[in-house]
Structure 1
Amino acid sequence: MNTPTGQVDPRVVGVEVVTRAAVPIVGFRATASLCALRARSSAALRTMSVLLERAGVWPAGPATVILRPNNRPDSFEIMAGYSLPGHALGVDLATDRLPGGLAVQAVHPGSWDTLLGTYDQVGEWLAARHVTEVPLMWEEYLVGPQATEDVHAWRTRVVVPLPGTWPARGNPAGQDGTPVSPGRSTTA
């Protein structure tokens, strides 16, 4: 099912606010245009998977791609890797950290070809709450081609950390008007 950008995909699990722990990520860095983003991150994750398999190391979380918009239009700094506490792969890898704290997230069902629809939903949620600056975001590949060839079974979580000043007055996190506490989420 191909959902054009700008239309809500009814299969997307609702946008929700959650409290997340900080997570270290180990992997490869690159710069990629929007058009090359999926190919660059997929190649890096395949290489990481080979390194992990050879070393007999299991990641502590899903494959993750961190995206940071850079100064060029439609271009991103990316970091593709895994959470590997105390990694010892014997290879020089880049490190980064997913920030802890409040974040907004949505789970995208299906092919990565339709992932922009989920980004549109998250973007609409952020815009409705006057969150205008997004210095980074990330994708967590919960179920993908490594697990199944059935693209309808794929699940990708899109995560955007919220600024430390959120919620602003008049834009409460919880439906009851209270900020979200650890372990609590709210669906919009």
Structure 2
Amino acid sequence: MLSTPEIVQTSAEQAAIIRLTIPRSEMMKQFGPAVGELMTTLAAQGVKPVGAVFAHHLKMSADSFDFELGVKTAAPVKASGRVHPGELPAAKVARAIYSGPYEGLPSAWDEFNSWMKANGHPQANDLWELYSVGPQSSPDPANWRTELNRPLVG
């Protein structure tokens, strides 16, 4: 289920990120271990995560994802291994909340993209998902919440 979309202005927010360029088929295999690596590095540096993990997709093709897996932080992170300082950008975005299991995200994005087109909101090439409620919070996928954000052009 998708909430009623809204247009909001975001502020730049510092984050710790790991850049991944992987085949789409590898997402479920790579995502969890990368989150663990990110959190372990933050803990070792004494940096507190702020909020949930996000995936900022920079390029997408039919067979691969190029994205930054990250989490906003209360203080800057120092580069260590694959973990680097980064940010979620300031942008005018269309935003909606998807409720349900991750397998439903492609359909939610289709519905969201259709809404943006129907309402005259030209889209930038990137997008991000913030996994506000997921397996770490609830064992029931019906309770999961993913914030969909699509920067707008113009």
Alignment TM-score, normalising by the size of structure 1: 0.70
Q: Extract unaligned runs of 5+ from structure 2.
A: none
Quick one: structure 1 residues 24 and 87, their matched pair in 2 at CA, closer, same or farther if it must change by over 3 Å?
closer
Q: Is the 1:99–1:161 Cα contact (8 Å) retained in structure 2?
A: no
Q: Is the 1:41–1:78 Cα contact (8 Å) retained in structure 2?
A: no
Aligned: 1:77 with 2:66: yes
**C-alpha separation in 2, matches of 1:63 and 1:91:** 18
* Residue identity matched to 1:21: S
Aligned twin of 1:31: 21
- SS of the aligned residue for 1:115 comes to helix
Q: Normalized per residue, which structure has more helix?
A: 2
Q: Is the 1:29–1:77 Cα contact (8 Å) retained in structure 2?
A: yes
**C-alpha separation in 1, matches of 2:64 and 2:79:** 31
**C-alpha separation in 2, matches of 1:73 and 1:117:** 15
Aligned twin of 1:127: 117
Q: Is the 1:18–1:104 Cα contact (8 Å) retained in structure 2?
A: yes
Quick one: structure 1 residues 112 and 149, their matched pair in 2 at CA, closer, same or farther if it must change by over 3 Å?
same
Task: Report how far residue 64 of structure 1 moved.
Answer: 0.9
Q: Is the 1:62–1:82 Cα contact (8 Å) retained in structure 2?
A: yes
Quick one: structure 1 residues 158 and 42, their matched pair in 2 at CA, closer, same or farther if it must change by over 3 Å?
farther
Aligned twin of 1:110: 100
Which of these two proteins has the greater Rg computed from alpha carbons?
Answer: 1
Alignment TM-score, normalising by the size of structure 2: 0.84
Alignment of 1:161-172 (within 5 A): 161-163=151-153, 165=154
Q: Is the 2:127–2:150 Cα contact (8 Å) retained in structure 1?
A: yes
Q: May I ask how many residue pairs the two structures share in their alignment?
A: 153
Task: Report how far residue 65 of structure 1 moved.
Answer: 0.8
* Residue identity matched to 1:109: S
Q: Is the 1:15–1:104 Cα contact (8 Å) retained in structure 2?
A: yes
Q: Normalized per residue, which structure has more strand?
A: 2
Quick one: structure 1 residues 104 and 132, their matched pair in 2 at CA, closer, same or farther if it must change by over 3 Å?
closer
Aligned twin of 1:87: 76
**C-alpha separation in 1, matches of 2:94 and 2:143:** 23
- SS of the aligned residue for 1:146 comes to coil
Q: Is the 1:48–1:81 Cα contact (8 Å) retained in structure 2?
A: yes
**C-alpha separation in 2, matches of 1:58 and 1:160:** 26
* Residue identity matched to 2:80: V
Q: Deviations over 1:151-175 (max 9, x none)?
A: 1211111111112x1xxxxxxxxxx
State, as a whole percentage, how many aligned pairs show the same letter. Answer: 24
Aligned twin of 1:46: 36
Aligned twin of 2:57: 67
* Residue identity matched to 1:82: V
Q: Extract unaligned runs of 5+ from structure 1.
A: 1-10, 166-188
Quick one: structure 1 residues 133 and 101, their matched pair in 2 at CA, closer, same or farther if it must change by over 3 Å?
closer
**C-alpha separation in 2, matches of 1:14 and 1:35:** 30
